[in-house]
Amino acid sequence: MNVAQSSSPVWHPFTQHGLEQPFKRIVRTEGSSLIDEDGQRIFDGISSWWVITHGHRHPAITAAICEATNNFDQIIFAEYSHEPAEALAAGLIQLAPPGLTHVFYSDSGSTAVEVAIKMALGYFHHRDERKTRIVVMEHSYHGDTVGAMSVGERGVFNAPYQPLLFDVGRLPFPAPGQEQQTLDALEQLCRGGDVAAVLVEPLILGAGGMKLYHPSVLSEFAAIARRYGALLIADEVMTGWGRTGTLFACEQADITPDILCMSKGLTGGALPLAATLSKPEIFEAHRSTDRSRTFFHSSSYTANPIACAAALANLDIWRQEPVQARIAALAEMQSEKLARFRNDPRFSEVRQIGTITALDLATPTTGYLSDVGPRLRRLFRERGLLIRPLGNVIYLMPPYCSSAEELDRAYSAIDECADLIRSIDR
């Protein structure tokens, strides 16, 4: 059964209520599936906006959440603390790239990025250095709060709010063969002397079209930032927790950013939680007997103990289960399924990093406002698949427990739907 839009008071995100089809009401989740009111299993090909890692309702995470509710609900996190947050911070420091020593909690990817920006500016402010500029890459997406929109791509998503957004330096995307141009642009911007931080999605721009760039570019970013006394902020909100094949994408460039943002897979996708990790000097720049140096940031639900317990269970899963092997197997299966599309003229480009694959459908219209994406979405939904293309970019980012049969179904549907869309467009 579907929920008619006109009868619902709910205002949904990224949804044009004047156009969309009725909502499917989900009553249960399990493994790689959403189950609707009619009992139909829908393959969650995008891990419910990239949050579910091990699979929906991993029993250890569910159990940890239930257990935590025996003792906790929310606890103010200023002046008071709790064991789940402390244990989690210690665990994150162990797992994250070496050299990150402090963990600041928040509750979404956007706020993790906002916190990172504030930490970077606070760091220079408290050291009396006039560095206030953030440099980002074109096509980036870092969230939908005002600061996060400021550092993201400008366009249709944020047109009404642009008067509020702050100015940033922008680098051209380092497409293969054009890396030097991006690095030169960064040097040029850094020479101005006012760059506080270079903020990037490591190795892959997610919402900007699943565009890949080489790990060497990321290590060059780190080197250039260091040379000019700027900080490197890695937004691992999407890439973290194994999506690109390694726990964090930064590992593939062998770098430790000065600040690292994570969310989504931090709780395995079960509850909202985010963390911004920093190097010691950033924490130390704020630590003082002078109250004006306090890091003035909080949200009411900072370090929610139940979410922290879910994240601790996620860490245990990483330690105790063969997650890395599962990711490698999923990446291999994806690679095999993708192979048949590699020289297919219906797709202008096909690419993969770790568990993420993307296929650019060659259509006359591209971009978010084209109706290619919504039409594809509808076709996939009719076939029991949750796949939400970004315009003409069809991508899969499934939970790590996805089976070969489920992937088969998804790639067969991509094959079939590509034909359907192109025959209508012709």
- Residue 244 binding ligand PLP, by CB under 6 A: no
- In the complex, least distance from residue 236 CB atom to ligand PLP, rounded to whole angstroms: 8
- In the complex, least distance from residue 405 CB atom to ligand PLP, rounded to whole angstroms: 28
Residue 143, both tokens = 């969230």
Helices then strands (H, E): number in the chain? Answer: 12, 18
Which residues in the 279-338 window bind ligand PLP by CB under 6 A? none
- Residue 248 binding ligand PLP, by CB under 6 A: no
348 is in an annotated binding site: no
- Residue 139 binding ligand PLP, by CB under 6 A: no
Side-by-side strand order, sheet with 393-396: 347-353, 356-361, 393-396
- Which one among 55, 97, 143, 242 touches ligand PLP, defined by CB under 6 A? 143
Task: Give the β-pairing of 41-44 and 102-106.
Answer: unpaired
24 is in an annotated binding site: no
- In the complex, least distance from residue 242 CB atom to ligand PLP, rounded to whole angstroms: 15
- Residue 142 binding ligand PLP, by CB under 6 A: yes
For residues 95 and 405, what is the distance between their CA atoms, to the nearest angstrom? 32
List Cα–Cα distances, 252 to 24, 25, 377, in angstroms: 39, 39, 32
- Which one among 44, 114, 153, 201 touches ligand PLP, defined by CB under 6 A? 201
Dihedral sign, Cα of residue 276, residue 282, residue 288, residue 294: negative
Which residue has tokens 């997650």?
Answer: 323
- In the complex, least distance from residue 378 CB atom to ligand PLP, rounded to whole angstroms: 22
Which residues in the 3-62 window bind ligand PLP by CB under 6 A? none
141 is in an annotated binding site: yes
- Residue 237 binding ligand PLP, by CB under 6 A: yes
Candidates 74-82, 104-112, 164-172, 417-425; binding stretch for ligand PLP (CB under 6 A): 104-112
Element holding 221 (H helix, E strand):
helix 215-227
Q: Three-class SS of residue 351?
A: strand
List Cα–Cα distances, 339 to 12, 29, 249, in angstroms: 36, 30, 24
Q: Check: CB of residue 276 under 8 Å from CB of residue 386.
A: no
- The residues binding ligand PLP (CB under 6 A) are 108-110, 113, 141-143, 201, 206-207, 235, 237-238, 263
Binding site as annotated, residues: 49, 109-110, 141, 235, 264, 298-300, 388
